[in-house]
Structure 1
Amino acid sequence: MSDFNINETAPALSAQSFPLQGTRLIEASAGTGKTYTLAALYVRLVLGHGAVGTGPANGAALLPPKILVVTFTKAATEELRDRIRQRLVDAAQVFRGQSEPDEVLASIVSDYAESDYAKCAAQLQLAAEWMDEAAIFTIHGWCQRMLSEHAFDAGTAFAQTMNKDLRELSLQIARDYWRYFLYSLPDNRVLHHFGDITKSPEALYQAIRPWLGAESDSLEFRASGAALPPALEPIKAAEQLQGWFQKVDQHAAKLREFMQPEALAELDEAFAKSIINKNKFREKGWLENERPQLENWIKHPERFDALDSGSQKFIEKYSADNLMAGTKAKFSPPSHPLFAGFSDLVALFAARPQLHLAVLHHAACWFTEEFQKRKQQRAELGFDDLLTRLYEALHREGGEALAERIRVQFPMAMVDEFQDTDAVQFGIFRKIYPKVTSTDYGLVLVGDPKQAIYSFRGADLYTYLNARELTAGQHYNLPKNYRSTHNLVASVNALFVRAEKQDAGAFGFAHEGHNPLPFFAVAAAGKQGFLQEHGANTPALNYWLADEAVEELRKGEYQQRMANACADRIAELLNGSALGTSGFSKSENDELITITPADIAILVRDRNEAKVIRDALNARALRSVYMSDKDSIFATEEATTMLSWLQAVYSPENETRLRAALLLRLSGQSDSTLSHWFEDEQAWEKITDQVREFRDIWRYQGVLPMIRAWLHAFDLPQRWLQNDSGERTLTNMLHLAELLQQESSQRDGETGLMRWFAQQLDAANPNEELVQRLESDADRIKVVTIHKSKGLQYNLVFLPFICGHKAVTAKHSVRYHAVNEDSGHTIVELEPDDEAIARADNERLQEDIRLLYVALTRPVYACWLGLGAYRDGNAKYSAVNRSGLGWLLNLPAKPTAADLKTALAELPWQHEQEPSFATYENAPSEAQPQSALRLPRAIHTEHWWIASYSALRTGAIYVPEAPDTATQEHYQDDDQGFAEQAGNEPTIAYAPENLLGMHGFPRGASAGTFLHNILEVAAEHKFKQTEGPEMQALLSRRLTQRGWEAETETLQSWLQQLTSVPLATGDECLTELPAIVAEMEFWLEVNNLKAADLDRVISRYLWPGKARPALLDEDLNGMLKGFIDLTYQDNSGRYWVCDYKSNWLGNDSAAYTERAMEKAMLEKRYDVQASLYLFALHRLLSARIPDYVDNIDHYLGGGMYWFIREPAAGQCVLKPDSQLLHELDALFRAEAAE
């Protein structure tokens, strides 16, 4: 980018004399009257006042269809239309002498002779009445109109369909690529090398998404700082890889000849004599895992697989080169041809062809070409196509004719929110209005680069900066803030003026004396008024500061403290207003105006922060509404509940489904009611009959009447509305019912409708119609994202988490700009290196500064900030200096609370102490929420049954049949365990307060089942995709459905730790296991087995002599069914069963001791579960491995019960004597024989 420096602010704009020709740029800082100015310019254009090619008072008038106004949202177009219409009406009244003019209208009127007043009024009135046909569009809406009206010149079809959601087409193309190019590849090893794209078409689609919408020439793809390799068809890449695999296989075959006891002896001697460095070669790992692995290869050379991940680790560790590097001085390293051969293999590994990016490149190119082709065949357009098609039409040969037609149609154009544009959009307007100094047409660009915060939507600030350079000398600014009080304007100015003195300027763009994005202080326009408390004016800008040492303040604690401070301060203000001691005043002695909840806005970054603050508000009886929820309605708890209701109504005879539907939280039934229904046969029959009636309503009247009947039969609206979230629940339910009714006419019966609904839950892909509707915001505190708050104003604003930020990491591709001579060329790094991450994070920081500017310019009277130098995750130091506020305060690296305090002392801001707990005394009275659901008491069943382990320990069986899925088993097991642990506490999930990490994660059956399900999904990907976009999206969606969005970071960190921590069964972690099976199902025949006999055998081998509850005292008859969470083989070849336990054993990791885990194992009789799981695995291995029975200890490792809230310390390993399995086998066989 060439140098364009602004050393002085542009001249102040005069709405009555602003030139309405050529291309001009208006910079409108926050609150400076941008819409008012646009409306004034529109009035002038309607009158022909200074219009194109004319003098100020006798020009050609333009009516609304000839004046193009473009903005970026539908809501903004409606607001502009209404504001302009009203301004036209006001102006007409002034010309008629019916009202007094303001300064701008007075100046315009003065340019006309009195004899022209009636004509001017008539023109203005005509324009006002014509505003419904005014050319006020979103950029996409206008492009669509131009492509349709000028289809011949644009070279587009006359009839094209707008498709708002092209995801299904995208997935279809991804499936085709997967089928054409990947499915037929013969070697699974090749597929593995190509990475995630070979797992499924959905994974392929996610991998190539960075390419979608990348038609712009200003986009360049790279990997690790270098250009991408040329695209390579998978079959050709496979040929190269197979040649490499062949070399590895040949070398491995030679190495099998050297699998000799002598190699084992060499290493045994090296460890015994401490010849090798024990920091690199740990003896424990050698004896427990690596030695058995090598011994296994020596006995069975055919089992040696050089490409197995566990084998590669061994090969690299015990290669001759690594042994030499790890041998102590004056000693000779272990020597054997096997080790030298390992070194050769390591060299081969390093020479492996890296072709996955070339294949990915091929997939992306094929996909984008096919995507365009199929859209054209279907005559469909996506939103991005509207822009690119018009851009291409204007820039191809003959495009000048199209530009001329549009220019004649709209001789004047005004583009609002221009800082949110991109190169394609600006390229369209540049082509239509090419001459910057034209006197024949005009283009007015209106924006504020300080408020450019939508890069995630494709907005490109560098396009704005380029436009500023092109329009040099034709810039104007709006210099006065009309929104905020004088003190607030001064407080915000102080922060940015101070930061502007830094070398890089306030917004981080200054370099070597050039600053394309400077900050100039705006003047306060004299907004009158104060916030007063107890007779004194409250300072305009206030903050709380958590002054603990960095090592003591973690992110969660910072957020909780600032949420509490924010909620308490709001309660103080509202309580004071009710008492008459707090309020707004126009001047010092005026009567106070009441503060209401609707005066208050809390600005956050995302829904997770919103959840934290709304919980704090709820605890103080302060009602709030989240204004920024853009999640799909199908990603909610209400949607999953609705699906369960539909399934129950469709088949009320299926008791399992009906009970599951009634047990859901949103079904609103108390535990006593459920117990009555489930235990009283007549009551249950009555409920079943009622649900059958619902089915009849569905069949004969429709799904919407059925849902209404369900809601009112169980009195659900009234129950929901007793709680703070009730309006949201009711709104979502009615929205879902409406969508189901609309879709029912397109689906084949009830089953087709349920199938469609279930598919929507899986996709949860929001478009405008499927976004959650807003519940009532009547007199509530507004919780809004900063992005959503842009353009709005609130009397009082709170920013409780403003020190938060999300640094760029290497987990995903990153984008940044190469700002040299190429005007902000965009780089997409698919495999970012440190430099790319640093540059992308710098741009993230620059946008965070602009985001803070937006937040600080929303309030009218006062603002509060929550500050603290906290640590995030496992970081040793605070990184608050990398937040927007940290940059503006010029905090040093590794900042402390003292650094924050020192920097803040230089600003005219007020440091408030965190207030005491306060409850809103004027809150609307609400009924107490109902007690949470508990499972009903056990129900005895018939003598022959199919049951799970859970039935053995409860004395009866709750579920009328054994679990059909692993999830059902987890729920039964987790719920019983939690109920025993909590006594009379609720069995739904609840989260303890003020606990860190997973110790503070919700407890209960629902939470336990949730964690089990997440690990089941992770296991499907060999635990290797836990940081990938699919898993992150799954976590986010499922947490949102349960209202646990605030736990997202905790879950992500925990999952990463769980998959990387060494297993107590060996040195490997989950991702390094050679073979795993998740949720392995087993069945065991049980014929009149006495539970007491089973109990006696197990108690003799597992923790003998230790007390534990007895199993039920009756005979067992039927089938015993179960699902083992994880069955795996370690690197030494032994097999293990692993069961995840979400039990909460204490407040921190210190609670997860061997004694505590033993206590839990015995109290919950997990020893019985472990024995049955091991016995099931024993039966399987006996049938599959010929020499297993003679070598049980060689093949069977044992069991691990993993208390997963503490991944490292929570591993309880069981290695029972093989005699236990023999006795269990004899016990089961004996009973069967009888």
Structure 2
Amino acid sequence: MNKLKVYKASAGSGKTFRLVAEYLLIALKNPRGFKNILAITFTNKATEEFKRKLFYYLNGIINNSESPDIVAMKEELEKGLKGKKILTENAELLMSLMLHNYSEISILTIDSFFTKILRSFAMEMNLSFANQIELDKSKVIDDVIDKYFEELTEGMSEVEILKTFLEQKISEGKSRNIENNIKEICGELFKDRYHLLSESNPVTLKYINFLRNLKRNFEKEILNITKDVSLILEKYGLEVSDFKKGSIGFMDKLMKMSEGKLIHINLKMFGDISESDNWSGSKTKKHKLALIEDARSDRLQEIVDNVYKHYNKDYQNYLAAIFILENIYSVALLDSIREKVNKYQTENRFTIITEINRIIQKIVKENYSAPYIYEKIGIYYHHILIDEFQDTSKIQIENLKPLIEEILSNNGNAIIVGDEKQSIYRFRDAYPDYFINIENFFNDSGVQIENKTIEENFRSSPVIVNFNNEFFSKLIENETDDYIKKAFQNITQKAKLNSEGFVEIKLFDPEKAQAKKFWKEKAVNYLYETIISQKNKGFNFNDILILVEKNSQAEEIISELNKLQNKDGNVNPQFDIVSVESLKLINSAEIIFIINFLKYLYDFNNESAEFDILYYLHKKGYKNFTNFNPENYKESGHKRLLQELDEDLKNNIISWTRMSLTEIIFKIAFKYDLFTKASKFIFKLIDVIISASEVNVNDLYSFLEYWENKKLEFSISSNENINAVEVMTIHKSKGLQRKIIIIPYCDVSYEPDGHHDFYWTTHTFDGEPGYNIFLKIKKDIYEIEKFEKSAHEERIKIRLDRINKLYVAFTRAEQKLFIYSPEKEIKKNNERFKNISESLNYLMPD
């Protein structure tokens, strides 16, 4: 059995180069066996890049290019192939075979690969062969919930739960709109963490009422204990400020309790007060000391003792009930809504993309062997390469494990590449734990691991590499959890470039009033000046990439930059800003040219397509078309294009119509040298064609119809050919790089925000069965002993995800890195950093 080769590849370490080299080493030894190599990537962007680089290196080898990266690849391959001659000969053969059989290249996203398996097992899993793959989960949720409410009738248990939910919202003075709460939690139906929950009792109205009664009884008892506090104070002429610690002390808490405002208390403080003889503070007036003692004797001592006893006995359960009740109504409805979602999928003949992983899991668990799975999909893979292993989900990884083991047992190659420091897709179920502890994951199968750490950085200047080494090393030193420390154990890189670099950290002093608004205004103004100054220093605008956390921030920055450019009536902006629209296939002149050519091949009488083809060739200055005059096109007679095609194409154009769609695309692209202008767009179009073929769209007519219906959906990840500043989220920037990176709103919190961070756990009250519950991670949750451990584990994973996001952002820069952040108070000793601003203030004071 071969060893599993695992590459730990930090940012900028040449991961794509390594993957392509490993692929080519395998393929060049047996060019006709390229169909038996499976390469799995995480995103469409990575798939496009892999294919583009594969053909780029092959083409460079065949043409004996002297480009440094081509030379480096040749040297790498020559060592593995033991000779130049076999490299050149096999490269030509491999290139030819791959171009003529492009659809058989198995470089796929993990979703595409599992979809292929799913379609092969449609009969066994009782699925329709015609099932489409649905990507839009929010649309499914909206449709299902609307229908769900329509079908509810009086007497159903769900109706009673909804009534109780509404009653609670009204009693708490909250919005009566419960639909949004339910839709929000329905997103969990499509996540691994919900489906990986252990079997538990369904949440019933009885359980909900048990929680409500627990909460109500606790509050009622506290109110009953403290109801006379204000009367006693009034009787002795005392105020809260007369007691120890005044408005932040125990008496303030008692007063609020007596008013029905139940609050979190420090049990130790109440325990100390209960046993203490001194209730007065340093500012208590002397004549009130005796009055305090009289009030203590007049039941105040008894009240404090009873509050302490009641909190000590029942507060843990009370606080747990509050946390559980926040989402319990929606959780109670999830199972019935899940049934509706399944029915909706069946009726509309589609499968939600996230469901594919669960269906494949069933296939694997039902003991279908790896050879049988291969047989079903029509190809046997001898080798497997997996990119971005840290971003795959728990279920995806476990589904791949049998295939990896099967390949290794037959002396094939299995290669995994990843970087736990770049795992930033927890919201998509990314599960880096298996990559962090890869040896443990394969421990039960006897697979041996060959770990390889790539320490070099080929992307960034030494200044940027050293900054990131120092910053993240210091940051991780301050962490207390081994999980995070292990993820960053290979943080130090060696810069391979010998170029100048620059890092600027700009901390803005926020003004007290509307602090967030003011520091961001300053940051955008400084951003504008930075863009102009970098242009004046010789950089192009498309050398600049602005990174943000959210799409809303991208929109805000674009809007503010445009305002700054248009101030004082200026109608000619100094620079353009790339929008999402510019990355769509329909906005590529070369793609539209190809589509028009396909239309023309389908119908030689299509005058509109013919005119657009002629006009493109004329505008681009192609031979035979420079004299084309759009004004007299119709007068010049129809079929002008056929008349002016070169002899070779004119004689063979009919044969083009009998080729596969991918072959036609390659023919057009090579004929008119389109790859040099728009390779990313063209490879994306080819991927669109392959995806369309999976739903039986295989001929010119059906594809052109498919294109017209879906053309607005297709886009590439980025386009460096447009000379414009680009604004992008950090998540979208993964795998990209630019000469200049600017992070203008660098205000990342490492901690759960108390609003958007949730997790599942199982909880049991004394005498009650266990239930799966959905909890929001807020500060008080760590006070609940039964939740403390699970909440802490989730908190650590959230923290790693957010530190990783910073790492990804900081490591995109080639030459210059600009970081703008608000200036905040430096952390206290022995505390972990709460946010990036604290880190920058404390770790990088100069």
Q: Distance in 1 between matches of 2:719 and 2:450?
A: 46
Residue 592 of structure 2 corresponds to which residue in structure 1? none
Residue 870 of structure 1 corresponds to which residue in structure 2? 824
1:790 to 695, 709, 734: 734
Residue 619 (1) aligns with residue 600 (2): no
> TM-score with structure 2 length normalisation?
0.61
Residue 167 of structure 1 corresponds to which residue in structure 2? 141
Contact 1:628–1:788 (Cα < 8 Å) also in 2: no
Q: Secondary structure at the match of 2:354?
A: helix
Residue 32 (1) aligns with residue 13 (2): yes
Residue 386 (1) aligns with residue 356 (2): yes
Contact 2:144–2:340 (Cα < 8 Å) also in 1: no
Residue 529 of structure 2 corresponds to which residue in structure 1? 568
Residue 425 of structure 1 corresponds to which residue in structure 2? 396
Residue 725 of structure 2 corresponds to which residue in structure 1? 781
Q: How far did 1:426 drift?
A: 0.8
Q: How far did 1:381 drift?
A: 0.8
Residue 74 of structure 2 corresponds to which residue in structure 1? 105
Q: Distance in 2 between matches of 1:432 and 1:864?
A: 44
Residue 518 of structure 1 corresponds to which residue in structure 2? 489
Partner amino acid, structure 1, of 2:294: K
Residue 87 (1) aligns with residue 54 (2): no
Partner amino acid, structure 2, of 1:562: A
Partner amino acid, structure 2, of 1:467: I
Residue 883 (1) aligns with residue 835 (2): yes
Q: Distance in 2 between matches of 1:189 and 1:112?
A: 74
Residue 809 of structure 2 corresponds to which residue in structure 1? 855
Residue 468 of structure 2 corresponds to which residue in structure 1? 492
Q: Distance in 1 between matches of 2:807 and 2:69?
A: 36
Q: Distance in 1 between matches of 2:162 and 2:553?
A: 49
Partner amino acid, structure 1, of 2:577: V
Partner amino acid, structure 1, of 2:550: D
Q: Distance in 2 between matches of 1:572 and 1:775?
A: 23
Q: Secondary structure at the match of 2:395?
A: helix
CA change 1:559–1:122 in 2 (3 A) is same
CA change 1:62–1:400 in 2 (3 A) is same
Cα offsets for 1:171-199 (capped at 9, x unmatched): 14652786432435798699428999985
Q: How far did 1:830 drift?
A: 4.6
Q: Secondary structure at the match of 2:183?
A: helix
Residue 800 of structure 2 corresponds to which residue in structure 1? 846
**Higher helix fraction (1 or 2):** 2
Q: Distance in 2 between matches of 1:117 and 1:863?
A: 41
Q: How far did 1:457 drift?
A: 1.8
Residue 237 of structure 2 corresponds to which residue in structure 1? 274
1:42 to 19, 23, 26: 23
Contact 2:383–2:407 (Cα < 8 Å) also in 1: no
Question: What are the residue-to-residue correspondences of 1:725-740 with 2, within 5 Å?
Answer: none
Give 5+ residue unaligned stretches, structure 1.
1-19, 50-59, 222-228, 256-262, 281-308, 315-323, 531-538, 576-581, 584-594, 631-765, 819-825, 890-896, 906-1234
> TM-score with structure 1 length normalisation?
0.43
Contact 1:40–1:87 (Cα < 8 Å) also in 2: no
CA change 1:398–1:420 in 2 (3 A) is closer
- Between Structure 1 and Structure 2, whose CA radius of gyration is higher? 1
CA change 1:94–1:28 in 2 (3 A) is same
Q: Secondary structure at the match of 1:882?
A: coil
Q: Distance in 2 between matches of 1:38 and 1:397?
A: 31
Q: How far did 1:629 drift?
A: 9.5
CA change 1:231–1:770 in 2 (3 A) is farther
Partner amino acid, structure 1, of 2:529: D
Q: Distance in 2 between matches of 1:482 and 1:549?
A: 37
Residue 829 (1) aligns with residue 775 (2): yes
Residue 606 of structure 1 corresponds to which residue in structure 2? 550
Contact 1:175–1:201 (Cα < 8 Å) also in 2: no
Question: What are the residue-to-residue correspondences of 1:291-306 with 2, within 5 Å?
Answer: none
Cα offsets for 1:597-647 (capped at 9, x unmatched): 2221222222454456442564255545265799xxxxxxxxxxxxxxxxx
Partner amino acid, structure 2, of 1:869: E
Residue 799 (1) aligns with residue 743 (2): yes
CA change 1:173–1:396 in 2 (3 A) is farther
CA change 1:397–1:770 in 2 (3 A) is closer
Q: Secondary structure at the match of 1:25?
A: strand
Cα offsets for 1:170-228 (capped at 9, x unmatched): 4146527864324357986994289999854443333454454346675579xxxxxxx
Residue 416 of structure 1 corresponds to which residue in structure 2? 387
Of all paired residues, the percent bearing the same amino acid is 16
Q: Secondary structure at the match of 2:453?
A: strand
Partner amino acid, structure 2, of 1:463: Y
Q: How far did 1:425 drift?
A: 0.9
Residue 204 (1) aligns with residue 178 (2): no
Residue 758 of structure 2 corresponds to which residue in structure 1? 814
Q: Secondary structure at the match of 1:779?
A: coil
Partner amino acid, structure 2, of 1:391: Q
Question: What are the residue-to-residue correspondences of 1:783-1182 with 2, within 5 Å?
Answer: 783-805=727-749, 807-815=751-759, 829-830=775-776, 833-834=781-782, 835=788, 839-870=793-824, 881-884=833-836, 886-887=838-839, 899=842, 903-905=844-846
Q: Secondary structure at the match of 1:488?
A: helix
Q: Distance in 1 between matches of 2:417 and 2:384?
A: 11
Q: How far did 1:518 drift?
A: 0.9
Q: How far did 1:65 drift?
A: 3.2
Q: Secondary structure at the match of 2:237?
A: coil
Q: Distance in 2 between matches of 1:247 and 1:40?
A: 66
Question: What are the residue-to-residue correspondences of 1:155-234 with 2, within 5 Å?
Answer: 156-165=127-136, 166-172=140-146, 174-175=148-149, 179=153, 180-183=156-159, 191-192=167-168, 200-214=178-192, 218-219=196-197, 230-234=201-205
CA change 1:102–1:362 in 2 (3 A) is same
Cα offsets for 1:1034-1087 (capped at 9, x unmatched): xxxxxxxxxxxxxxxxxxxxxxxxxxxxxxxxxxxxxxxxxxxxxxxxxxxxxx
Residue 111 of structure 2 corresponds to which residue in structure 1? 140
Q: Distance in 1 between matches of 2:185 and 2:124?
A: 37
Q: Distance in 1 between matches of 2:86 and 2:108?
A: 36
Contact 2:825–2:838 (Cα < 8 Å) also in 1: no
Q: How far did 1:122 drift?
A: 2.5
Q: Judge which range, 488-497 or 386-395, deviates more.
A: 488-497
Q: Secondary structure at the match of 2:409?
A: coil
Residue 433 of structure 2 corresponds to which residue in structure 1? 462
Q: How far did 1:78 drift?
A: 2.4
Residue 609 of structure 2 corresponds to which residue in structure 1? none
CA change 1:192–1:862 in 2 (3 A) is closer
Q: How many residues align?
A: 630
Contact 1:190–1:241 (Cα < 8 Å) also in 2: no
Q: Distance in 1 between matches of 2:548 and 2:84?
A: 54
RMSD: 5.6
Residue 362 of structure 1 corresponds to which residue in structure 2? 332
CA change 1:768–1:814 in 2 (3 A) is farther
Q: Distance in 2 between matches of 1:101 and 1:831?
A: 50
Contact 1:393–1:399 (Cα < 8 Å) also in 2: no
CA change 1:125–1:477 in 2 (3 A) is farther
Partner amino acid, structure 1, of 2:118: L
Contact 2:457–2:495 (Cα < 8 Å) also in 1: yes
CA change 1:162–1:619 in 2 (3 A) is same
1:481 to 457, 473, 481: 457
Q: Secondary structure at the match of 1:796?
A: strand
Q: Secondary structure at the match of 1:409?
A: coil
Q: Secondary structure at the match of 1:450?
A: helix
Q: Secondary structure at the match of 1:862?
A: strand
Q: Distance in 2 between matches of 1:186 and 1:446?
A: 48
